[in-house]
Amino acid sequence: MTNLVVMGECMVEFSPLAEGEYKQSFAGDVYNTAVYLKRLLANASNVSFLTAVGKDCLSQQMLQALQQEKINGEFVEQLQHQQIGAYLIETSAEGERSFVYWRDSSAAKSTLSFLSEASKKKLISQTDTFYFSGISLAILNPLDRQLFWQLLDQLKSADVHIVFDSNYRAKLWQNRDEAKSQFKQAFRYSDVIFAGVEDFELLYGFGAFDAIEQHLAPFEIDEIIIKNGANNMMCIAKGESCIIAVAAVKNVVDTTSAGDSFNAGYLAAKQMGYSLPAAVEYAAKIAAIVIQHHGAIVANDKFEQLAKQINIPSM
């Protein structure tokens, strides 16, 4: 059994059902990836979540959601006098989303400060793949960022496979220079990078495939998947690159977790032995299911039903 650890924040999500009516659930970029990873890999992998939450009722409900999704919560610390963040989704007629956040006092900002030595040793010794994102970095307070890079250094020394998603949210950073500095560190450690064209345009001022490839070339990255929304994507591995077409999805309802579910599909497919192009096609099918539903997390029974209809295998 493979051990995968995702690190970041899970929040209360309010997704629209009708005018003035919202559904409460739990989501967050890396959490979404963890959920779909576990659903696809089932008993073939142990998926753990590294974060911090409060001791309030919503935090307790979030821990119950982890259990329901069969995600290991042993690396989740519960902090007194803090709580989890929240966000509300607003969607356009085309399914494009915008968010309103309440996360200033989120317990996840202090995840590393409260990670016990025993838990850290276990995480380092037993983890096969460690997954984090630009948002995972952005929410950490300064001390926890230092502790995070120390942890990543230890994980890298233990030959843990490091995966980074370039999720960039300008509002979470003091300025671009701060974000660029942290992203550069992430690039140095990563074996696999999911690079978003929109992220690079906003942070670096360029979004062409060739420009992103050139920017990441100095780093020793095994696989780079450059995503461009519903458009074609570029994949780079072992010095070779290819462009892969993405099939259009007609009934787009909510793109909230499009990238997160894609990443889960890709990582699951690679674990199942798929080639890089085949893994991208598999991941695109997973994302296509998710964006045809409201909210980040599709109900498990509905997800399984739709996956069977389009012949998506799981472990």
- Which residues are the active-site residues? 260
Closest CA to 98 of 180, 4, 171: 171
Pairing of strands 76-78, 45-53: parallel
Q: For residue 50, which of 4, 97, 81, 102 has the smallest C-alpha distance?
A: 4
Q: Where are the beta strands (DSSP E) in the chain?
A: 2-7, 11-18, 21-27, 45-53, 76-78, 86-91, 97-102, 129-133, 161-165, 192-196, 223-227, 233-237, 240-244
Alpha carbons 280 and 46: distance in angstroms, whole number: 22
**Taking the CA of residue 64 as centre, how many other CA atoms within 13 Å lie in the half-sphere pointing to its CB?**
9
Which residues face 196 on adjacent strands? 227
Contact 225, 248 (CB under 8 A): no
